Amino acid sequence: MQPVEALTVALADRSYDIHIGQGLLREHACFADVMTSDTVVVVSNDVVAPLYLDTLQVALSDYRMITHLLPDGERHKTPASMLAVIDTALAGGAARDTTFIALGGGVVGDMTGFAAACFMRGVPYVQVPTTLLAQVDSSVGGKTGVNHAAGKNLIGAFHQPVRVVIGLDSLATLPPREFAAGLAEVIKYGAIVDREFFDWLEENMPRLVAREPAALRHAVRRSCELKAAVVAADEREQGKRALLNFGLTFGHAIEAGSGYTQWVHGEAVAIGMKLAAQMSGIDVDDCRRLESLLSAAGLPTETDAHRADDLLAAMGHDKKVLAGRIRLVLLESLGSAYVTADYDSARLRQVLEGMAVA
């Protein structure tokens, strides 16, 4: 078996391991101890499956495999697509002890996890993330769901996986735009909870953009360590976990405003992080450092695609709205963030108008 680094997401009886390494998608041992029957439902999409489904079948050769392929893209993250997964599982004879496996990026992982949460009131599932964004963020923590016309991820459930298997070699096939989108989530961890990691990213971003294996391994592991610690402390986002939404309230509004067609998720989050930093009123040099790091990763930091009123309306549908007030994750400084609904609404509009068409 290939060398594996293992981290644990500590959630009492729902604890699970994250396996990180090269070549893990073909390793039977990464999956065997969490299987609960001789049948698995593998969910992927029509982009990832041609690249990695055969490899995963090597690891799952002892199991009867039911396969469902989703169309690629955020616009297909719908209740109808999720129900199609359940239709395939039922038609294939899946039962209450069947394990679901998500092979793909964040959309596949979220939808598979939600299908597993709903199927026969909950079955186990394994996350096998193939994009950088999914490896460092969406595959860890048990947030599952689909989009609604009113906003992103408004239908879903907390349902923790039983294992996360991260094969770093899958990053070699990511298109540059998708790879950069994942770097946005890596940068986010440094910005909100780990100043030392942010400093490391500034120094090593050229190595990451070049996809040097040692740099990638460190960035993925550190991101997963930080995510695991936050999830263990606050599984259902009642406190500290909300910090992980830095840039997302803005980013989700930007995504929704374009019908999920103009920006990929990480790009929208990158723009959102710049806006959140501006909204924070932190030192101007720290704002510039964040923007420079995002640019060095190949990410956008502005858009003129939407009116401020449209973005505010979309932000009003965000899951983080409480008592009619949009909550924002803002920075005290690089490496330290907080959640607040106590901010200057006029300032928020000014920030949005600085990047939107008047």
Split at pLDDT 50, 70, 90, the class of 303 is confident
pLDDT tens track for 47-81:
999 999 999 999 999 999 999 999 998 889 999 99
Domain ranges, ordered by start, for the chain? 5-170, 176-353
Tokens of 62: 């002892």
pLDDT tens track for 220-230:
999 999 999 99
Q: Which positions ≥6 away from 330 have C-beta within 8 Å?
A: 276, 279, 280, 337, 338, 339, 340, 343
Q: How are the residues of the chain apportioned to helix, strand and coil, as percentages rounded to the nearest 5?
A: 50, 20, 30
pLDDT tens track for 140-177:
999 999 999 888 888 999 999 999 999 999 999 999 99
Q: What average pLDDT does the segment 70-98 reach? A: 96
Our separate counts of H helices and E strands in the chain read 13, 11
Residues 163, 167, 168, 171: is their CA dihedral positive or negative? negative
Task: Look up the CATH number of domain 5-170.
Answer: 3.40.50.1970
Cα separation values, 252 from 73, 137, 291, Å: 15, 15, 19
Is 283 in a helix, a strand, or coil? coil
Q: According to the model, what pLDDT value does residue 237 have?
A: 85
Tokens of 243: 């910090």
**Does residue 8 carry a pLDDT above 90?**
yes
CA distance 111 to 72: 12
**Does residue 236 carry a pLDDT above 60?**
yes
Split at pLDDT 50, 70, 90, the class of 318 is low
Q: What fold does the segment set 176-353 form as a domain?
A: Dehydroquinate synthase-like, alpha domain (1.20.1090)
Q: What average pLDDT does the segment 304-330 reach? A: 76
Split at pLDDT 50, 70, 90, the class of 358 is very low
Residues 269, 178, 110, 222: is their CA dihedral positive or negative? negative
Q: According to the model, what pLDDT value does residue 162 have?
A: 98
Q: What average pLDDT does the segment 91-117 reach? A: 97
Q: According to the model, what pLDDT value does residue 207 have?
A: 98
CA distance 36 to 206: 43
Q: Provide the pairing of β-strand 39-45 with 163-167.
A: unpaired
Q: Per residue in 10-42, is it b (16+ CB within 10 Å) or e — as a string?
A: eeeeeebbbbbbeebbbbeebbeebbeeebbbb
Q: What average pLDDT does the segment 236-251 reach? A: 91
